[in-house]
A and B are shown apart, each in its own frame.
Chain A
Amino acid sequence: MIPAAPSAAPAEPSTAPSAAPPSGAETKPAEPPRAAPARSAAPTDPARDGSLAARAEVLLPPSADAQHVEPAKAGKGPEAAPLIDISGYIQGEYQSHQDSEDQLRQGGSLLNQNRFLVRRGRFVLKRAWQYSSLEAELDGNTTSGPSFGFYRAEAAVFYRGNNEKSLPPVAQLTVGMMRTPFGFELPQPAGERWFMERTQLSRALWPTEIDVGARLSGAVSAFRYALAITNGEPLGEKSGFQLQDPNANKDVTLNVGAKASPLENLEISGGVSAVTGKGFHAGTGVTKGTVGWRDINDNGNIDSGELVGAAAQAETPSKSFDRFAIGADLEIGFKTALGASLLYGEVIAAKNMDRGFFVADPVVAPQVDLRELGFYVGFLQPITEYAMLGFRAEYYDPNADSSEPRSGRIVPLKNTVRVFSPMAGLVLPKRARLLFQYDLIRDHLGRDAQGVPADLKNDAWTLRLQVHL
């Protein structure tokens, strides 16, 4: 069974929130922790432009994507910009899952999920010049035992044109390990997200945000665009080929959107996204002949007729299959007396794109395409700048055409997952968050007394402390 709990995802991508005061700034008056924007600054994800951060500074800390790193100045002195901009954060948390067992899964992995863990420890290094920039993100976590390694590595050249400093460049070419520019949730840095993890929908289609490839992106007036060509095997994919590419085909992702402020206290942004590519079904190698024992009468002894020879098997070829996803997202930010509220949502329809939950492989029997459909709606409401409330509801159907034989009939098989996530948190502005989230998970991974798929008792809650560097 694959747990549906959103917070149980493997190491997931994110960038550090950009709020990065100098070391030791905790004892100093809070100074805006962002480096002075430079004309050559290079937002790493111009398609998004840190737009929510810009319109709701209480809601979201200054986005790492929006942080502009000034080129190194000549000379020495207190006003000289650092050669390398360093930022980061650590998320330490306690998780509790209803489906925990003090046992091991077949293969030895843990079934107990009631535990403390370092979900993310991220350090981001940036450097930018007039027409180029580079950015590296390191991740350490204890999600599946201690691990530390490269998480994101982007090299970029860009042309700013006449765009203001607050906007992305007109055009930017990025090559490396980078976030996939699809929809709203996927490009959002994990350090900025208020909810613990991305939705089940997003994590099923993209186990992590990170893929290897090239991306052309930018902003023209109110419009944003991003076109990415990637290997199509994101980090954390279960195929065993993560960040590699077993087929020559590349996934092509397109995102176009716009942002506008029709009223003084209202900002609307949104976009449409699409990705197309080819998945890979690994073949099998040639095998030697073997002798097997089938204990037909279950007596534990080898009896006549129970030794079965298996002839050497020829290899089976690998096959590729088509997959795609299309989606649309809409974000509405508005300022009230309480603070900058945010209402957002996204819908995605896909074919053979699930790589993290009910993994799609139409090459295996019954050789039919798997159609995925999902959507979510989220709402964030700051209560002054020291507290945050949120609620997110999502729906995901990993296989809209699933069926099974039951009671002598072929009947539709529900695989849908609905997750309702109330969240509340205390905030030390631009420094720390203490968040609590309960995930009410309604799936069909269990069965009732009639043998009909029913909800499994697998709700979860998480208490997380996140502190920025």
Chain B
Amino acid sequence: MKRALAIALALWLVGCDHGQESVIGPSEAFRIRGAQFMKGALPGTAASDAGTATPVDAGGPPRVTMVALSSGYAIQGQSGRGISGLSTPNAASVGIALDDVGSGYWVVPTRTIDQTTGELTWSATADFDRSIPAGRRFLHFVAFDESGTPGEQLAQKFCIASSIPDNLSSCDPSVEPPAAVISLTWDTNVDLDLQVVTPAGVVVTPKHPSTEPPDAGTDAGADADAGVNYGAVGTIDRDSNANCITDGVRMENLVFPKDAPLGTYQIFANLFDACKQPNVHFDVAVYTAEPSDGGKKLTLSYQRGGELVDSQADPTAGRGLFVTEFLFVP
């Protein structure tokens, strides 16, 4: 009996800190589906940029020899990005981390032999949380051998592009961002619509997504005489969760690519359909292109939040909840 108790106690003590971490939910901002999460910094010797790594030594430590990405960036909140590559034949697994993001790294095993190179293949599917700050980063890779010894890291240039449509200027500063973006984001899967009334009195909604009046061009002379600059046309980029068909984006942006007509803009949030949700918290933000490092950068100029409850849903409403007025000045 005493022995059984001792064994039980020993097992319990051993069990207090045993086993691999379980990360299933989105508690890590950078996630690899189906991979094992490890807390701590990515092991291995100092990273080298892809393409400039030291030559592979057949008898040396394991190495990631090639990384294949469909593009060099991922948009904030993007899911299902495929990452694959090759490693030396002595690699048992590959660790992956995004620098300065999250509290650890992910491990995937190497799989089959690549018939062309004789090296081992590996693959992963990555999700990038919206909370990851936009900007240029590195994806880091390291191979482990069968004893768990890591080799030299490989650093792959990568960029997290802003979910605000900025022409990818967050990844390439030489690209000019839009002149202004009015953005509506929200937290639950309801059909919420951005409504903006322009200085010219045009009501812009996802169903009428342009700041250009419906009859534009028919009496342009008279409008020009009225001092309205219709040359700068803004467009709402999408109708998110339209008719409660969930797309998960929960964001609508009125984008002025070149110039925003000056004047006062009224911004509304219209709950078209609550989609059986009790309420929704939303956030309105206005971004404008401001000078930065010799170029321009999309900068947050104004932000305000609010809440709507399901009883306020009204698909026939001409206007939603008034949120704010915003003045575009020279």
Is A281's CB within 8 Å of the partner chain B?
no
| A379/B19 contact (C-beta < 8 A), A449-B93, A451-B144 known | no
Q: How far is the CA of A199 from the CA of B52 in the complex (A)?
A: 55
Is B71 an interface position by the 8 A CB rule?
A: yes
Q: Which residues 341-381 in A have Cβ within 8 Å of B in the complex?
A: 379, 381
Listed A/B pairs (14) with beta-carbon separation below 8 Å: A299-B71, A406-B92, A407-B92, A408-B89, A408-B120, A422-B11, A438-B15, A448-B148, A449-B43, A455-B18, A457-B18, A457-B22, A459-B15, A459-B19
- Residue ID in chain A nearest B8 by CB atoms: A422
Contact mask for chain A residues 173-209; partner B; CB cutoff 8 A; 1 contact, 0 none:
0000000000000000000000000000000000000
Name B20's contact: one of A105, A299, A422, A448 (CB within 8 Å): A448
A104 (CB) vs chain B CBs: closest residue: B25
Cβ-neighbour of A447 out of B18, B36, B70, B111 (below 8 A): B36
CB of A297 within 8 A of CB of B70, answer yes
A101's partner among B11, B23, B81 (CB-CB below 8 A) is B23
B residues neighboring A (CB under 8 Å): 1, 4-5, 8-9, 11-12, 14-16, 18-27, 35-36, 38, 43, 69-71, 74-75, 78, 81-82, 89, 91-95, 107-113, 120, 144-148, 150
Q: Which chain A residues in 426-469 approach chain B with CB under 8 Å?
A: 438, 440, 442, 445-452, 454-459
Counting chain A residues whose Cβ lies within 8 A of the other chain, the interface size class is 35 or more
Give CA–CA (A99, B15) in the complex, Å. 13
Question: Given that A298-B70, A407-B91, A448-B36 are contacting pairs, would A455 and B22 also be in contact in the complex, using a CB cutoff of 8 Å?
Answer: no
- Which 5 residue pairs are nearest across A and B when measured between Cβ atoms? A103-B25, A451-B109, A451-B93, A446-B20, A457-B19
Q: At the interface, yes or no: A296 with Cβ under 8 Å from chain B?
A: yes
- Residues from chain B with a CB closer than 8 A to the CB of A102 are 25, 27
Q: Is A450 within 8 A of B144, CB to CB?
A: yes
Please give, as numbers and ranges, the residues of chain A lying within 8 Å of B144 by CB-CB distance: 449-451
Complex CA distance for A452 and B107, rounded to whole angstroms: 10
For the complex with contacts A408-B113, A459-B16, 17 further pairs of A-B residues with Cβ separation under 8 Å are A98-B19, A101-B25, A101-B27, A111-B25, A298-B71, A379-B4, A391-B4, A405-B112, A406-B110, A422-B5, A440-B12, A447-B35, A449-B148, A451-B94, A454-B19, A455-B18, A455-B19
Closest to A101 in B: B25
A34 to B18, CA, bound (A): 46
User: Do the beta carbons of B81 and A298 come within 8 Å of each other?
Assistant: yes
Q: Report the bound CA distance from A104 to B8 in whole Å.
A: 33
State whether the Cβ of A300 lies closer than 8 Å to any Cβ in chain B.
yes
Most interface-central of B11, B26, B91 (chain A CB within 10 A): B11
A1 within 8 Å of B (CB atoms): yes
Docked complex Cα distance between A103 and B25 (Å)? 5
* Chain A: minimal CB distance from B168 (Å): 9
- Considering the chains assembled together, what is the distance between the CA atoms of A450 and B36 in angstroms? 10
Minimal Cβ-Cβ distance residue in B for A446 = B20
Name A458's closest neighbour in chain B (CB-CB).
Answer: B22
A420, CB-defined interface residue at 8 Å: yes
B110 close to A451 (CB less than 8 A): yes
- Decide yes or no: A1 and B24 within 8 Å by CB, A298-B74, A449-B148, A450-B148 being known contacts: yes
